[in-house]
Amino acid sequence: MTENNPQLYQFRVFVRGISPAIWRRLLFRDDQTLADMHYALQIVFNWADAFLHRFLLRGRTYAVSRAGGADYTHTAQATSLQSLQLRLKERFIYEYNFFDWWQIEIRLEKRLALDETQSYPHCVGGKRAGPLADCGGSWGYLALREAQYHPVHLLLRFREIVEATEDDAQCGQWIRQEFPDLAYWLTAHRFDRRQANQQLKHYAAGEEWQQWL
């Protein structure tokens, strides 16, 4: 397609190494860039762009240019999705946080006609909250979910804390100290697609996206 006649790419993306899968389905204009995809992934997984990243595709590396980034990467801002000449069902990788080393697998599912009334990027599906960006990667995530934050463990420990004090404020303080990410784990089974799309609209409108995360 030409720049004057863009079309849509539908991608399915999921976090490697976690089951049940944490996934999203995203729509992009083919004249949007890998930089747009980077920021969209940060939004739909509720990350804050606090770590380095890179795309890996056909032996090439792409990233949004920044201090401390690898100097051998191709510039994501100047790389349109159309220019990649992706084949249907082709897969590539997005890596984030080179300490925890999150890997997001991205697959082109469909090419679609453009809806001029819709802003892009746009999320049309997904399951489960994005993982905490610095929880130790997929292994750390699974260990926290199955051990410290297992519902049975939480209930037993909550009962111990409640029985140990009659002061509600102190009880709440103890719980927050022992389970600093409790709010996340209580809602980790949910993905708020409406909120994600509101944030994607802000991004599509050219707003500085960190200010409304």
On whether both 125 and 30 belong to a single domain, the answer is: yes
On whether both 70 and 174 belong to a single domain, the answer is: no
* 1: in domain: no
Give the CATH number of the domain where residue 27 resides. Answer: 3.10.290.30
Q: Which pTM does this prediction carry?
A: 0.86
On whether both 101 and 58 belong to a single domain, the answer is: yes
Q: Which helix (H) or strand (E) holds 85?
A: none
CA dist 107 and 118 (Å) reads: 22
On whether both 20 and 104 belong to a single domain, the answer is: yes
Cα-Cα-Cα-Cα dihedral sign, residues 148, 15, 124, 52:
positive
- Give the pLDDT confidence score for residue 27 in this predicted structure: 98
* 120: in domain: yes
Mean pLDDT (whole number) for 59-66:
90
On whether both 124 and 198 belong to a single domain, the answer is: yes
H-helix segments, 10-164: 34-44, 137-146, 151-164
pLDDT tens digits for 98-156?
A: 999 999 999 999 999 999 899 999 999 999 999 999 999 999 999 888 876 777 777 77
pLDDT tens digits for 186-204?
A: 788 999 999 999 999 999 9
On whether both 154 and 96 belong to a single domain, the answer is: no
3-state secondary structure of 39: helix
How many domains does the chain contain in total?
A: 2
On whether both 83 and 148 belong to a single domain, the answer is: no
Of the ranges 101-105, 174-178, 182-186, the best mean pLDDT one: 101-105
On whether both 176 and 160 belong to a single domain, the answer is: yes
- Give the pLDDT confidence score for residue 168 in this predicted structure: 77
- Give the pLDDT confidence score for residue 2 in this predicted structure: 47
User: Which residues form the domain of 66?
Assistant: 8-130+191-212
On whether both 178 and 202 belong to a single domain, the answer is: no
* 2: in domain: no
- List the beta bridge partners of residue 6: none
On whether both 198 and 158 belong to a single domain, the answer is: no
On whether both 91 and 147 belong to a single domain, the answer is: no
Lowest mean pLDDT among 30-34, 93-97, 205-209: 205-209
* 50: in domain: yes
Residue 112 φ/ψ region, left for φ over 0, alpha for ψ in the -120 to 50 degree band, beta for the rest: beta
- Note whether 184 and 132 are within 8 A (CB): yes
* 3: in domain: no
- Give the pLDDT confidence score for residue 198 in this predicted structure: 96
Query: Rounded mean pLDDT of the chain?
Result: 88
On whether both 62 and 166 belong to a single domain, the answer is: no
